[in-house]
Amino acid sequence: MKKLKIGVLGTSNHFVKRVVLPLKETHHCETYAIGSRNIEKAKSLANEFAIPLWYGSYQAVIDDPEVDMIYIPLPNHLHKEWVEKTIDAGKPVLCEKPMGMDTSETREIIKKASDANVPLMEGFMYMFHPMWQHARNIVRSRQIGNIQYIHTAFSYNNPAPSNIRNIPEYGGGALMDIGCYAISVPRFILGSEPDRVMALQSKHPEFGTDMHSSAIMDFGGPRATFTVSTTSQAFQKVDIIGTSGSITIHIPFNTFADVPATITVTDGIGTRNIEFPVSNAYGLMFDAFAEAVKENNPMPVPGLDAISNMKVIDGVRKSSETDGWVEI
């Protein structure tokens, strides 16, 4: 069966740094066209990475009859507009996280896709990496007992005023950019939703975005905590602690794609480091999405997941404003 032809909206650094090369190794899809409001940027990127077509607008990519699916790595505030335009064209959409700017917006997007019967998925690539699948299986089979708490730390230092991650109206800030991962992780591992959340955020004095966001999520037994930051040393780690063991995922999100990934598992027998073959989570995500589209199967990650994650993000915002617990 032929590969689905991907149309990419935008020439983002994220696409260049993390996605364009993995898409050359996928089995079910391939990059076919790229669009930018600056056609020279689209042409330059297309020539550099052997992408067959380039356009001077996002709509032109969507309108190309040869394009089978659309990938949207645009700034957060543009997601709703361009996801909905893609849905109007009847083309499957893989949209970078977070799907929308808030829960209401995300619900509208998911409903529109559902009503139109157009495949739509939010791009949380980490879920597709073998180490995460294995970690979840360890938890599900209770090899480390009953989960007591999960802690996620994720940070980087981005001082550029013009960067989209530092512009509030673009959906910037630590919570939306990387806090969404820290919220997704315990939901993915536990297979359940938090009942309530309490949070603390600190605003950047110049940008107005949240530069530090911390929260505790109550899962009615297990709890999950996180701190994410845009003004700290680059760092990321996830610890999963059970009644009889633990899992540490050392590079949980920006996992190196050219060396084996490693997690550390401790149980009643001892401690072991588990290595996984070289994998690229982005390529695996695109293949899973494209295969589901080709086979007319349900999305690997349903639209409800995007809504559920955004409900917690909104809860973190509200808790930070009210200094109290927020029911989810």
Rounded mean pLDDT, 173-183: 98
Q: Could you give the CA distance from residue 17 to residue 254 in angstroms, rounded to a whole number? A: 11
How many CB atoms neighbour CB 121 within 10 A?
23
- Predicted confidence band of residue 260 (pLDDT cuts 50, 70, 90): very high
Distance, CA of 172 to CA of 76 (rounded, Å): 8
Q: What is the pLDDT of residue 216?
A: 98
Amino acid at 37: R
The answer to whether 178 and 212 are in contact (CB under 8 A) is no
pTM over 0.85: yes
Residue 30 pLDDT exceeds 90:
yes
Token pair in block for residue 10: 């935008």
Quote the distance between the C-alpha of residue 79 and its chain's center: 13
**Residue 1 binned pLDDT confidence (cut-offs 50, 70, 90):** confident
Q: Does the pLDDT at position 69 exceed 80?
A: yes
DSSP-based helix, strand, coil % in the chain, nearest 5: 40, 30, 35
* Overall average pLDDT of the 122-136 stretch: 98
> Per CATH, which fold does 4-123 belong to?
Rossmann fold (3.40.50)
Which string of DSSP letters, residue by residue, matches 144-156?
A: T-SEEEEEEEEEE
Mean pLDDT for 277-281 is 97
Longest dimension (CA), the chain: 59
Give the model's confidence band at 36: pLDDT under 50 very low, under 70 low, under 90 confident, else very high.
Answer: very high
Position 129 scores a pLDDT of: 98
What is the pLDDT at residue 161?
A: 96
Which tens digits make up the pLDDT trace of 190-221?
Answer: 999 999 999 999 999 999 999 999 999 999 99
Q: Distance between terminal CA atoms of the chain?
A: 43
Arithmetic mean of pLDDT over the chain: 97
Determine contact, residues 83/99, Cβ cutoff 8 Å.
Answer: yes
Phi, psi of 247 (to 5 degrees): -130, 130
Give the long-range contacts of residues 111-115, CB within 8 A, separation 24 or more: 112/84, 112/87, 113/83, 113/87, 113/303, 114/303
Q: What is the mean pLDDT of residues 21-43?
A: 97
Domain coordinates in residue numbering, the chain: 4-123, 126-282+310-327
Backbone φ, ψ for residue 68 (5° rounding) = -95, -30
Determine the distance from the C-alpha atom of residue 299 to the mean position of all C-alpha atoms in its chain, rounded to a whole number. 15
Can you tell me the mean pLDDT for 26-44? 97
Q: How far apart are CA 112 and CA 160, in angstroms?
A: 36
CA distance linking residue 31 with residue 8, whole number of Å: 7
Average pLDDT score over residue span 293-302? 98
Task: Provide the pairing of β-strand 4-9 with 196-203.
Answer: unpaired
Please check the confidence at residue 178 and state whether its pLDDT lies above 90: yes
Asked if the domains 4-123 and 126-282+310-327 are classified in one and the same CATH topology, the answer is no
Average pLDDT over residues 25-52: 97
126-282+310-327 placed in CATH 3.90.700.10:
no
CA angle 64, 9, 15 (to 5 degrees): 130
| Mean pLDDT (whole number) for 161-178 | 97
Give the pLDDT confidence score for residue 78 in this predicted structure: 98
